[in-house]
Structure 1
């Protein structure tokens, strides 16, 4: 399974992010999610593409969200100049996870510094917390939530470790439903005024339904790709589901 198959690659557009955005706009797209690999410092190399992003934003009016990795101050200032709609950043709260899973020589403090830089430049943030990121264990998630709560985001996205075939964690089990449910409740309480979303990355099968039900019970605001039966469960809870054709970090 490849997580890249659904993405459009810049080489097909001669490396021009503007031309890629132009093609999407012509096809009726309302927005883009810009992503890419990171360097050894965890930074997604965005600075080279800033002029294209500014031009695409101005000419096509596309909503623009960006996977920023672990951005430095210069990148945060550039994102502010563009006026992006959301900086998507994985926030990791334990040094061991940063080193052993992301293979970066960094610290949780560096992630909070990135949140500070984004906040100081008025860049709306959409932080993600990956439950079970440390080989299925809940290790730094609580600290990540504390850091995010000190810099209230536009939206908080929670996802669950999703084992992928062909990866070192292909057979890793996610956290228990009890741990997941308690974290959902804690996130809701920590950010009472912030939309909290359950993202698309989570295990499949019966556990997906169980996780989605916990999200509704905890008062989360949205679920990406809800499991079969979850919409009806929400209605039974006297909620009124609203369907949005966009990613988990978007609330039109």
Structure 2
């Protein structure tokens, strides 16, 4: 990423484009550089469980490293757009609550919530995602802990009838947006007295 800092500065200066990056776990040097560019946001998964970091992400990192990044971004005045993947430890809720606790200490620009989508041909094929009860409670708690933060339901989530139920749960919990809403969800939102608007962009760039 550091090798492209000059390119990003030119993009900002000459084209005025929005720049949001996926930098992994940026260190001080990288955060200094991103602050100099004045990036519009940094997107990263926040993981609160050592087993998930080791067994799923295969990274040499600790949960405390993720909290340190949130602090670092805030200190450098870089807008953070953290993602929490519900059920990332083979369908189990293993650290998502800890991740949410980290994020509430450093209120982000946007919080994106996604749910494990088991894909054919991967090590997660056949994994059962978290239950609707677990998902619904997490949505509601995130809303209560971050009352002024835009919370978005991202594009990665189970398909079929479960997707419909997840989308309804997001609306019921008061989340601010849904990527690729299920059929009928716009009408469901309108029945709740909401006025849906449509944005042709990644949910992480809607605010």
Q: TM > 0.5 between the two?
A: yes
Q: C-alpha offsets along residues 27-61 of structure 1, whole Å, 9 cap, x if unaligned?
A: xxxxxxxxxxxxxxxxxxx1111111111111111
Q: Secondary structure at the match of 1:128?
A: strand
**1:130 CA displacement:** 0.2
Q: Secondary structure at the match of 2:112?
A: strand
Q: C-alpha offsets along residues 206-225 of structure 1, whole Å, 9 cap, x if unaligned?
A: 11000000000000000000
Q: Secondary structure at the match of 2:205?
A: coil
- Aligned counterpart, 1:192: 147
Across the two proteins, how many residue pairs are aligned to each other?
A: 207
In 1: Cα distance, 2:13 partner to 2:67 partner: 31
User: Is 1:165 the counterpart of 2:104 in the alignment?
Assistant: no
**1:79 CA displacement:** 0.8
In 1: Cα distance, 2:117 partner to 2:23 partner: 21
User: Is 1:48 the counterpart of 2:3 in the alignment?
Assistant: yes
Higher helix share: 2
- Aligned counterpart, 1:210: 165
- Aligned counterpart, 1:14: none
In 2: Cα distance, 1:187 partner to 1:68 partner: 24
Question: Which runs of structure 2 are paired with 1:7-86 in the superposition (5 Å)?
Answer: 46-86=1-41
5+ residue gaps, structure 2:
none
Structural RMSD (CA) = 0.7
- Aligned counterpart, 1:87: 42
- Aligned counterpart, 2:95: 140
Q: Secondary structure at the match of 1:63?
A: coil
Q: Secondary structure at the match of 1:201?
A: coil
TM-score (norm 2): 0.98
**1:171 CA displacement:** 1.3
- Aligned counterpart, 1:154: 109
Q: Secondary structure at the match of 2:43?
A: strand
In 2: Cα distance, 1:81 partner to 1:105 partner: 28
In 2: Cα distance, 1:205 partner to 1:189 partner: 28
**1:205 CA displacement:** 0.6
Q: Which stretch shows the higher mean deviation, 230-239 or 70-79?
A: 70-79
Q: C-alpha offsets along residues 225-244 of structure 1, whole Å, 9 cap, x if unaligned?
A: 00000000000000000100
Moved over 2 A (4+): none
TM-score (norm 1): 0.81
1 or 2 for the larger relative contact order (CA 8 Å, sep ≥6)?
Answer: 2
User: Is 1:174 the counterpart of 2:129 in the alignment?
Assistant: yes
5+ residue gaps, structure 1:
1-45
- Aligned counterpart, 1:33: none
Q: C-alpha offsets along residues 107-135 of structure 1, whole Å, 9 cap, x if unaligned?
A: 11000001111110000000000000000
In 1: Cα distance, 2:111 partner to 2:189 partner: 20
- Aligned counterpart, 2:204: 249
